[in-house]
Structure formats: structure tokens, C-alpha cells
Amino acid sequence: FQELGEEGCLSVPGLWYPCERPAYTKAIGTDLDGKEVVIEGEEIWARLINHEVDHLDGHLYLDRLAKDVRKRAMRELRESLEAK
């Protein structure tokens, strides 16, 4: 099942929004020696794994927000960049 939780990212500092993620996840990869690596987690660990895998796939958590929340997030992101 999915869990809704606040999520933020160093790529967009200071901005936190509710983001839906799986409550459990399992990721399979390969280490530098070519050996299979399996990591899995529940709740916050599942959120963390999915968040980082999204980065590897070229996505930010903002891409996963509900449409109305994403619209607000993008506006707030633009405003925070303009203030700098």
C-alpha cells in the first residue's frame, strides 16, 4: 500500500510537501565488484530508497506530487529562486 508523508530534498532546500510513496520497497542492484546487492525497507526506509532511486532515474520528488500540490510547489520554488 501507499503512504502519504512529508518529503524534502537537498536539491530543493527548505521546501517540504506531501508525497505518496510505497510503504515497502525492494531494490536490486550491482556493487562495484559486479555482485548483486539487495536492499529493502518499510515506511521511512522505503521512502528513502525510492527517493534515491528516483534521483538515479533523473526524477525529483516534485515529479511525484499531486497535480495541485506540484503546481504550488513549483510556484514556491520559483519564488525562492527569485528571492536569491
* Cα gap 3→38, rounded to integer Å: 22
- Whether pLDDT at 77 is above 90: yes
What is the domain partition of the chain in residue ranges?
2-82
Query: Is 20 part of the annotated catalytic residue set?
Result: no
62-71 per-position pLDDT tens digit: 999 999 999 9
Instruction: Judge whether residue 26 has pLDDT over 80.
Output: yes
pLDDT in tens, 14-23: 999 999 999 9
Measure the CA dihedral 16/62/19/68, to 10°: 100
3-state secondary structure of 17: strand
pTM for the predicted model, two decimal places: 0.88
Looking at 52, 76, 79, 82, which residue is catalytic? 52
Does the pLDDT value for residue 84 go beyond 80?
Answer: no
Q: Is the pLDDT of residue 48 over 80?
A: yes
CATH class of 2-82: alpha beta
